Structure 1
Amino acid sequence: MSRWLTEPVPRGRVAAFRTLVYLFVAADLVVFTPWVRTRVAVPGELYQPLLIGRLLPLPTPTPALVAVIFWVLLLLALLAATGRAPRLLGWSVFALYLEWMIVAMSYGKVDHDRFGLLVALAVLPTAGRARHGDATRTEAGGWALRVTQIAVICTYFLAAWAKLRFGGPEWLTGSVLARAIIRRGTELADLIAQVPYLLIVAQFGIVAFELLSPVVFVLRERWRLATIGFFYSFHLVTMATITISFAPHLAAMTSFLPLERVRPVVWARRLLRRRHGVDADPEDVAADYVQASAVGRPVGP
């Protein structure tokens, strides 16, 4: 079990995942959850902190407190995305984002799509330093990615468990999706809703998919990546029909992907060189050879 939990991964994968996660945190503040700043406009007695907020305990949010969290977290997340001071910046971003989420979720609604992202922020500082394109393997980074993967799959499995625990078997045959379409459905959802029994079949399929999601851990890499692709397609359909994005969850789910192969800076540099008729940088070519050999791909011109 310990070998599986700490299976080494390329440091370049950790670096890419770290950059993606911290950039998402910055985007989350200004795109997905800017509404958190409006929470302080409601009376303080409506603030009912989550259990962790009661145990610490944390103060009732005020406009000044939330503004400080917003701007400091935004700055630190952008700095952390560079990979510098991974422990200091990483722990700081985790603590501030956790408080941001406590404020967001302490007014009667808790979103379960944040779980995987919070776990990723908690474990990334333990991965140590990592550079983009570095093919050397790290057990600490492997553990950070594996724990994030477990959190992602737990989000699915426990969602199915909650459906059956609180909704019972009637959740499968009820009008859950029909009500969602009425509230926030798109034109595509309206077309799907016209097909008899299709929404009931979809509800059975959703629960089956969530209960079987742990199987992804026993699949070979090729099939595991295909399964993760299916997970992403599921959320794409969800967004296209009932406009629920699960964006934080999707960011955390990239922990399954070989992100070390995605090197936009190198690609942009090559594109500029080609446009100006300059030969490829030998360092970029050498790095590609090392990276390709590390992941078992053929290395050729």
Structure 2
Amino acid sequence: MSGWLTEAVPRGRVAAFRTLVYLFVAADLVVFTPWVRARVDVPGELYHPLLIGRLLPLPTPTPALVGLLFWALLVLALLAATGRAPRLLGWTVFALYFEWMVVAMSYGKVDHDRVGLLVALAALPTAGRARHGDATRTEAGGWALRVTQIAVICTYFLAAWAKFRFGGLDWATGSVLARAIIRRGTELADLVAQVPHLLIVAQFGILAFELLSPVVFVLPERWRLATVGFFYSFHLVTVATITISFAPHLAAMTSFLPLEKVRPVVWARRLLARGGQPAVPDDAAAPPTALTGPEPAVGPATP
């Protein structure tokens, strides 16, 4: 079991995952959760912190506190994406983002798509230094990726458990997707809803998919990557029909992928190098042709 948890991976994969995760944190602040800064304008008595916020205890957010949190986290996440000071910056970004999430989720709604990302932020500082393109393998980096993968799959499996806990089998036979389509459905969802019994079949399919998600760990690598591709396609359909993105979850799920093979900086350098080379005429590239006939005479010409 310990060998599976710490299965060594290329350091380049850890470096790529680290850069992606920290860049997502920066994007999350300005794209997905900028509304957190507006929530602190409501009266303080409406703030009911999560259990962890009550145990620590964390302060009631104010505009000044959340503003400082926003800018500090944005700057430090971008710095952490460079791979420098992985432990110092990593632990700091985790602590600040954790507080950002406590503030965000303490006003009555808790999103479960953040679990994998939070685990990734907590695990990455333990992976140590890693450079892009480094093929040497690391068990510490493998552990950081593995626990993130476990958190991603637990998000699916425990979602199915919650459905049975609160809705029972009625969740699959009820009108869950129909209500979601009425609230936030797209034109594509309206077309899907017109097919008789398709939504009920889809609800049973979602339950089966979530319950069987741990199987991904026992599949051969080729099939594991294909299964992860199916996970992404599931979320693509979700966005296209009921506009729920699960973006943090999708970022954490890249821990399954061979990210060391994706090197945009190297690709960009190659493209620039090709663009900077002078054009070679077609005839210049052709090999010299052999001369035919007798060689010309050497010496003064005779009359």
- The TM-score by the shorter chain falls in which range? over 0.9
What corresponds to 1:68 in structure 2? 68
Q: Which runs of 5+ in 1 are unaligned?
A: 279-301
What corresponds to 1:293 in structure 2? none
- How far apart are 1:277 and its partner, in Å? 1.6
Q: Which runs of 5+ in 2 are unaligned?
A: 279-303
- How far apart are 1:225 and its partner, in Å? 0.2
Normalised to the residue count of structure 1, the TM-score between the two structures is 0.92
1:105-144 equivalences under 5 Å are 105-144=105-144
SS in 2 for 1:110: coil
Deviations along 1:179-233, one digit per CA (max 9) or x if unpaired, are 0000000000000000000000000000000000000000000000000000000
- How far apart are 1:36 and its partner, in Å? 0.2
Distance 1:257 1:134 in 2: 16
Deviations along 1:122-169, one digit per CA (max 9) or x if unpaired, are 000000000000000000000000000000000000000000110111
Deviations along 1:12-39, one digit per CA (max 9) or x if unpaired, are 0000000000000000000000000011
Distance 1:123 1:266 in 2: 27
Which amino acid is the alignment partner of residue 269 of structure 1?
A: R
More helix by share: 1
Distance 2:8 2:224 in 1: 17
Distance 2:112 2:152 in 1: 10
What corresponds to 1:16 in structure 2? 16
What corresponds to 2:99 in structure 1? 99
Structure with greater Cα Rg: 2
Normalised to the residue count of structure 2, the TM-score between the two structures is 0.91
What corresponds to 1:58 in structure 2? 58
Distance 1:122 1:249 in 2: 15
Which amino acid is the alignment partner of residue 192 of structure 2?
A: I
SS in 2 for 1:41: coil
Distance 2:19 2:268 in 1: 17
- How far apart are 1:276 and its partner, in Å? 1.2
SS in 2 for 1:34: coil
Distance 1:78 1:197 in 2: 47
Deviations along 1:241-277, one digit per CA (max 9) or x if unpaired, are 0000000000000000000000000000000101112
What corresponds to 2:168 in structure 1? 168
Distance 2:114 2:7 in 1: 25
- How far apart are 1:64 and its partner, in Å? 0.3
Aligned-residue identity in percent: 89
What corresponds to 2:299 in structure 1? none
SS in 1 for 2:40: helix
Residues 1:265 and 2:251 aligned together: no
- How far apart are 1:52 and its partner, in Å? 0.3
Residues 1:218 and 2:218 aligned together: yes
Distance 1:109 1:139 in 2: 37
Which amino acid is the alignment partner of residue 23 of structure 2?
A: L
The runs of 4+ residues in structure 1 deviating greater than 2 Å are: none
- Count matched residues: 278
Residues 1:184 and 2:174 aligned together: no
Distance 2:8 2:269 in 1: 29
